[in-house]
Structure 1
Amino acid sequence: MVVVGLQARDELPGGAKDLVRARDQLLDGGDSRNPRLDAESLRQALVDLHDLWLTGKGAELGITADSGLAVVAVGGLGRREMLPYSDLDLVLLHDDVDPQRVAEVADQLWYPLWDAHIKLDHSVRTVPQALRVASDDLTAALGMLEARHIVGDEELSNLLIGGVRREWRTGIRSRFGELVEQAHARWRRGGEIAHRAEPDLKNGRGGLRDIQLLDALAIAQLTDAMPGLGPDVPGGGMKQAHRRLLDVRTELHRVARRPREQLRAQDADEIGAALRIGDRFDLARTLSDAARTVGYSVDVGLRTAGNALPRRGLARLRRMPVRRPLDEGVVEHAGEVVLARDARPQKDPGLILRVAAASAQTGLPMAATTLNRLSEDAPELREPWPREALNDLLILLGTGRGTVDAIEALDRTGLWGRMFPEWGAVRDLPPRNPTHIWTVDRHLVETVAYAGVLSTRVARPDLLLLGALLHDIGKGRVEDHSVVGAELATQIGRRLGLWPSDVRAVSAIVRHHLLLPDTATRRDVADPDTVRMVVDALDGDPQLLDLLHTLAEADSLATGPGVWGDWKASLIGELARRCRLAMAGEPLPQPDPIDAELLARAEAGGVHVDLVPGDGRYTHVVTVIAPDTPGLLSDAAGVLAMHSLRVLSASLGGSGEVAIDRFVVTPMFGDPPDAGLLRQELIRAVQGELDLAKALVKKERDAGARTSPYAQAQPRLIWTDTAVPGQVLLQLRAEDRIGLLSRLAAVLAAADVGVLWAKVVTMGSAVVDAFCLDLGGGDTPQRRSEIEAALLAVVPQPEPQKPAETDIDTGSDEIY
């Protein structure tokens, strides 16, 4: 044992006041005789110092190996994490010793510490008494799990330490619920360290108490002490996060010269400099990374522990959880998203995004073992990305709150940064503006979640989501983040495989994402010059204007409370309205031309169904040529859905009395069915021998949580008159569900509405459909209203609002 920094190294004076002087000598080091210790060395020196004093005092009081007495340390000293002003937590154990003798020893041990004003948490117990306390008091049990023998009868200490740990393992099943409840209550009180201006390093979410919780679960043999993360992940994993939190807390004690767990803004610069991290913003970034790493590991640890709890009674007879397919190579098992048994990550770079998209859609977490396997085995996506990978990314981005947890898990395990290397510049980057409550990377993901709710306001929800994800990607650099971000967005858009026009659109969104809010709040929106300036900046593009208008709201909502309000919304709305009038609208959808070969086959008559490989690895093109009878579109789309073929896009038209419909589809899992089978099923459906409505209900029920009947965005229908009397264009923007196109077509057929042509596009989890309808002489407002109500009845609707739950407090708006 070596006490660094003490002038007298061979022996420590016996008085507790000398202990305090020795501690202060360690804290005040900074000269050649007594150099200043770094945080880790200081903790070790303090452990050595207290061990030395207690060992000497114990020997002085007769606490020896055969005395029937032992001193056991819990808390920081027990964990060998002694901080400058931490409480001293000690237990005096005794076995068959005269009570008067025990009392005398206790008084002579405790009173010197009290007289020296050392904060002491103490108890005097036999081993059975201590075990009873541990069995009755969860907090006491957690403390005793960290117990360490200091001096005296080591066998007595081992009886306590071994007994507590043994009873903890055998009784964890009955105490697990209380343990989880206690953790959640602590998080509500302490807030999230990663996003709090003045975080509680000990009790906050992602803090040192959470690391102790993981250690307790590891002792119960329910999980690893560092679950879900290895040393190669961003930030260095759990070990590095633990050390960083301890170092900051150590310096906080040293700066404050008192026990303090909450990092104050005025101390941050001094602590950052002492740890050679940098200024307060650098310190905030370091803490955010550490806390989010710990937070992710705690989520994984609690989930793993819950699944590993031993079963009793009838629970032992339950069947093992089934593996329910979610996507190609992805299944649900035991409440987690895992890889299918036949998945081959080494040969399937898109598997990462399919796993994440399934997790976001279902709300089920990705198993830590799955993420680790993907991290080790999955290859890089080639550039440009395959279309299927881009679509899975859009599904991931379009699922609302599910997006946040899924991206956080990918980021903590290094997978998100692999796909988006530019993310490293904004990861855990603290905001410079006090109105922001999130780190920059979390703000981007929060903006995506809000944009998903607003996605039906725009004709291109995919561009809105990508713009939301990237709008602040240029931060963390010296140059204007909008200019830098636009360049990065171009680079990323090309990597994702976007069309050149879409790459330009995403880049323009990032470049001008502040144009509307800055202009509306700083200039006169009624001034024609203001309108002209905005229109010129956007090159007169009404689609870009709508995207920026919607993004402005999502960005403000994701910034913090009070940033978006009626005043700001009205100013931006009025500016957008005037600019839209100046731009004079946007072109309406037009039908795609029909291939001459398909026209020739249509003239031959009969029912034809072809299925050929598409451009992507998992896409196929299904062509249906059949007599254009009422309900054909519903039957064709229903047969595809019944066979787990998801429609990515469709062009529906015809020639005379023959319908020619082309669908680009992807199997939900496995291989597509044979074209001959699809043809037989279509003929049965047309002849009324196949109840597609019933089949789709069963299909959706079997899919379970993956296809919730609820949506996050309000569906939107837009009616537009055409130049031909009785013909109208109906545009639908909504969230997808199994068999949606079939249900929509069935509604139109039941309403005796002819579909002249249609264009259907699925963008991630959203659909943007355009139908050219023939209403004949019955085009009245009442009929349109009836059709609209019937269509909305089969479209996913937002879930009814529940009473607001108490969110974790993020603290004051000021960032240290």
Structure 2
Amino acid sequence: MDPSGDAFGDRRRARALEADRLLRGLFAGAVGSADDPRQGQGVALVAVGGYGRSELSPASDLDVVLLHDPSVGEERIREIAEAIWYPLWDQGVALDHSVRNTVQMREAALEDHRAAMGMLDARPVAGDSGLVLALRSEVLTDWRRDARKRLVEVREAREARIERSGWLAHAAVPDLKESGGGLRDGVVLRAMVATWLVDVPRGEAEALRSALLDVRDALHETSGRRMEKLDGEHLVDVARLLDRDTHELEHHTRNIGRRVAHLSSLAWRRVDDVLETRPTAITSTGPVVAPLDDGVGRLDDEVIVLQGVDPAEDPEIALRAAAAAARHGLPIGSSTAQHLARTLGDIPEPWPASAQRALVDLLTAGPGLVAVWDELDYAGVTDRWVPEWADIRLRGSSSPVHRYTVDRHSVETCVLAAEVARDVDRPDLLAVAALLHDIGKGRDGDHSEVGESMAEEIALRWGFSAADARVVARLVRWHLLLPNIATRRDIEDPSTAVNVAEYVESESFLDLLAALTQADARATSASAWSSWRRGLVHGLVAKVRASLDGTTSADAEAYEGWPAHVPIPDWGSQSLTDLSLEVENHRGGSLLTFVTLDRPGLMESIAGGLAVLGLEIRSARTVTIGDAAASMWEVTRADVDVTKVRERLKPILAGEVDLAARLALSPSPDAVPPRVTLLHQRSETATLVEVRAQDRRGLVWTVCRAIRELGHSIRSAHLSTYGAEARDVFYVVDADARPLDETAAEQLRAAVAAALT
């Protein structure tokens, strides 16, 4: 199928015509107009919304109003309505219907801007068309008369919608209808033009909306249902129907959203010009421009390049204008951005100090950076500074944790890095690393490794010294080090901190890496920087700092486990069911502290009990004190019922519950087999086993059982879930509390893999 053709548009119109014929037949039968045409006077069927525009997508509802003159009796209208609606329901037609007289319809349009916008596209389908045309004319007159007030309402609703649904160009899972730059924005542009207050390039706006409708139609056809979100599950099928590969379709769709959002931004700026009555200050020499920087000024509420400045001769002007705009929270005028893109000269390489300083000012400006970068990126200016940016522009992330595309995520990371700039010695290097930390995602290979050399090359081009460029490159290379280690390793094991210290080398670099980690995680999503993850990372950073200043060592004897001291209850007996349990809310979930009689398989039993209770485990640690075992378990649920946990665990600890029957792993829906790996040289005190598998109930218990059956013990476990994938690390020791030898370790790895498959 030729994606540039109008096949989808033809089908939308054909569906609308088919619906028209169906409704006309039902209407004729309902009013008896075949015998007496006068019986249809004062009554009409009206198509509104997308159906009114003859844009009927495969799974769209029929948006229909039975409109009537107030003089037509209620009983008569009820008879007509039932004669139309019931046959449609019997045929399974998806119907969004209402019955209103002309007065009610006009009042609804006056009270609700959404009703008014729907009426602007109203189309008579059957009956008294004069009734419909007269009402539409009245609604349009009201819309134009009250345009200043109505546009304020429309903007507030749009901002709330975008807050919920994000931007089509940058959301991880774009909503084709509700996102900023989506189909609803296209309809809003039509309504804005109808006010006569502003104008937009109507042809371009409609072409973009039609192209986005094609994508949605393909989504409806391939999914077989009404849906608006283009998720990864349906992307392949939609791309095939549109004769594109998946990456091409994703970029095509996001680019439409970016262009619609840009048109919307221009339109709303023009609305602001109309709604704000303050006059532009003008002197005998022209409008008054407030200077902001060399060659840069403010005209009204936009940043412009002053007359007489030639970007070909002064290529740094774009950087100065961008920095000034971001710093003052002002937009760069679209015409200014386009002018810069057409005429900008090349900055000599390596960049002079003045250009580098302007770039850093831009990247550290805070929230104002986002809109300025978007405008310049849309115009093509950013490609002059970072040609590599093209590889990540509008690129979706493969991780379900991300809420933005790679490019927008990188800019958001800069904004959040600016908030912690005071915590580091070199905020300039932090800002550059924040922008470039995912630059390698546009190339094959591990993006951290690929991005390392790319970032170093870019930093050198931007005029940073070789030493500073190397710092930026190392930050890019290791930007995932702290969260990965904190969530998958035992941070209480001194060797963990020592190993990390070998990578970071200095407290100055540790500060930079910690700040980048925080900014990156916060820009990813709330779950990526939950209180649990934040606490683990901060704890690891503190321990690495202590290792760097020489106050800790990796001596195996220094490992004390957790906790350093636990009071042992006086049970008066040594029963398997003796159990002390304390619960406290902790890092968004709960911290459960158990003390019970030590014995083989204890962690297996507790993990099984927590699974039976439906509690998702984040981490677990245990330490033996005399004949007792103390263990700490982090679970995701807050406000855990202590009594319920204790009573459900007692029969499990006594061996009275067949956990194998209760927790047998269901077949994994993941076609990729579990991966079990030995992490060599990561600890001097235990053997580390990493499990990557589809997260399922009983997964932790299954691994614990396999370890216990080989006669080994689990000192601690560190459990993380990324989307549907579990990534768990177990610290295993033998019967003498020592790491396993090479042969035993391999046997363990194979046994765990077999248990999971």
Question: TM-score, with normalisation over the residues of structure 1?
Answer: 0.57
What's the counterpart of residue 16 of structure 2?
47
Asked if 1:209 corresponds to 2:184, the answer is: yes
Partners of 1:96 and 1:69 lie apart in 2 by 10
What's the counterpart of residue 461 of structure 1?
427
What's the counterpart of residue 559 of structure 1?
524
Query: Residues 752-786 of structure 1: CA distance to partner in whole angstroms, max 9, x if unpaired?
Result: xxxxxxxxxxxxxxxxxxxxxxxxxxxxxxxxxxx
Q: Return 76-85 or 216-225, whichever deviates more.
A: 216-225
Q: Secondary structure at the match of 1:565?
A: helix
Structure 2 unaligned runs (5+)?
Answer: 552-721, 726-757
In the alignment, is the contact (CA less than 8 A) between 1:327 and 1:358 conserved in 2?
yes
What's the counterpart of residue 217 of structure 2?
250
Partners of 2:70 and 2:477 lie apart in 1 by 78
One-letter amino acid of the counterpart of residue 323, structure 2: A
Matches within 5 A, 1:80-479: 80-91=54-65, 110-122=85-97, 130-150=105-125, 157-193=132-168, 200-225=175-200, 242-243=209-210, 245-262=212-229, 266-278=233-245, 287-309=253-275, 323-345=289-311, 347-479=313-445
What's the counterpart of residue 235 of structure 1?
none
Summarize the Cα distance change of 1:176–1:104 in structure 2 as closer, same or farther, 3 Å threshold. Answer: same
One-letter amino acid of the counterpart of residue 522, structure 2: L
Q: Secondary structure at the match of 2:332?
A: coil
What's the counterpart of residue 542 of structure 2?
573
In the alignment, is the contact (CA less than 8 A) between 1:214 and 1:226 conserved in 2?
no
In the alignment, is the contact (CA less than 8 A) between 1:482 and 1:510 conserved in 2?
yes
In the alignment, is the contact (CA less than 8 A) between 2:70 and 2:103 conserved in 1?
no
Partners of 1:225 and 1:464 lie apart in 2 by 40
One-letter amino acid of the counterpart of residue 571, structure 1: L
> For this pair of structures, how many residues does the alignment match?
539
Summarize the Cα distance change of 1:105–1:571 in structure 2 as closer, same or farther, 3 Å threshold. Answer: closer
In the alignment, is the contact (CA less than 8 A) between 1:75 and 1:88 conserved in 2?
no
Partners of 2:431 and 2:311 lie apart in 1 by 27
One-letter amino acid of the counterpart of residue 61, structure 2: D
What's the counterpart of residue 596 of structure 2?
none
Summarize the Cα distance change of 1:362–1:162 in structure 2 as closer, same or farther, 3 Å threshold. Answer: same
Summarize the Cα distance change of 1:580–1:429 in structure 2 as closer, same or farther, 3 Å threshold. Answer: farther
Partners of 1:393 and 1:541 lie apart in 2 by 27
Partners of 1:197 and 1:87 lie apart in 2 by 27
Identity %: 38
Asked if 1:73 corresponds to 2:66, the answer is: no
Instruction: For residue 326 of structure 1, report the CA deviation from its aligned partner.
Output: 1.6
In the alignment, is the contact (CA less than 8 A) between 1:40 and 1:247 conserved in 2?
yes
In the alignment, is the contact (CA less than 8 A) between 1:198 and 1:264 conserved in 2?
yes
Instruction: For residue 101 of structure 1, report the CA deviation from its aligned partner.
Output: 8.4
Q: Secondary structure at the match of 1:359?
A: helix
Instruction: For residue 268 of structure 1, report the CA deviation from its aligned partner.
Output: 4.5
One-letter amino acid of the counterpart of residue 431, structure 2: L
Matches within 5 A, 1:609-624: none
One-letter amino acid of the counterpart of residue 544, structure 2: L
Partners of 1:172 and 1:432 lie apart in 2 by 43
Instruction: For residue 394 of structure 1, report the CA deviation from its aligned partner.
Output: 0.7
Instruction: For residue 151 of structure 1, report the CA deviation from its aligned partner.
Output: 5.5
Instruction: For residue 217 of structure 1, report the CA deviation from its aligned partner.
Output: 1.1
Partners of 1:137 and 1:465 lie apart in 2 by 45
Instruction: For residue 142 of structure 1, report the CA deviation from its aligned partner.
Output: 0.7
In the alignment, is the contact (CA less than 8 A) between 1:357 and 1:392 conserved in 2?
yes
Partners of 1:132 and 1:277 lie apart in 2 by 47
Partners of 1:342 and 1:153 lie apart in 2 by 63
Query: Residues 476-495 of structure 1: CA distance to partner in whole angstroms, max 9, x if unpaired?
Result: 32212122112211332233
Summarize the Cα distance change of 1:199–1:511 in structure 2 as closer, same or farther, 3 Å threshold. Answer: closer
What's the counterpart of residue 638 of structure 1?
none
In the alignment, is the contact (CA less than 8 A) between 1:91 and 1:124 conserved in 2?
yes
Instruction: For residue 191 of structure 1, report the CA deviation from its aligned partner.
Output: 4.9
Asked if 1:503 corresponds to 2:477, the answer is: no
One-letter amino acid of the counterpart of residue 468, structure 1: A
What's the counterpart of residue 619 of structure 1?
none
Structure 1 unaligned runs (5+)?
Answer: 1-29, 31-36, 232-237, 583-811
Summarize the Cα distance change of 1:487–1:226 in structure 2 as closer, same or farther, 3 Å threshold. Answer: farther
Partners of 1:460 and 1:264 lie apart in 2 by 40
Q: CA RMSD in A?
A: 4.3
Summarize the Cα distance change of 1:112–1:179 in structure 2 as closer, same or farther, 3 Å threshold. Answer: same
Summarize the Cα distance change of 1:552–1:132 in structure 2 as closer, same or farther, 3 Å threshold. Answer: closer
Instruction: For residue 172 of structure 1, report the CA deviation from its aligned partner.
Output: 0.4
Query: Residues 262-300 of structure 1: CA distance to partner in whole angstroms, max 9, x if unpaired?
Result: 556654544344334445x87666555444444444344
Q: Return 350-359 or 372-381, whichever deviates more.
A: 372-381
In the alignment, is the contact (CA less than 8 A) between 1:404 and 1:446 conserved in 2?
yes
In the alignment, is the contact (CA less than 8 A) between 1:549 and 1:573 conserved in 2?
no
In the alignment, is the contact (CA less than 8 A) between 1:57 and 1:109 conserved in 2?
yes
In the alignment, is the contact (CA less than 8 A) between 1:346 and 1:377 conserved in 2?
yes
What's the counterpart of residue 601 of structure 2?
none
Partners of 1:215 and 1:356 lie apart in 2 by 31
Partners of 1:159 and 1:574 lie apart in 2 by 76
What's the counterpart of residue 782 of structure 1?
none
Instruction: For residue 518 of structure 1, report the CA deviation from its aligned partner.
Output: 4.3
In the alignment, is the contact (CA less than 8 A) between 1:525 and 1:575 conserved in 2?
no
Instruction: For residue 331 of structure 1, report the CA deviation from its aligned partner.
Output: 2.4
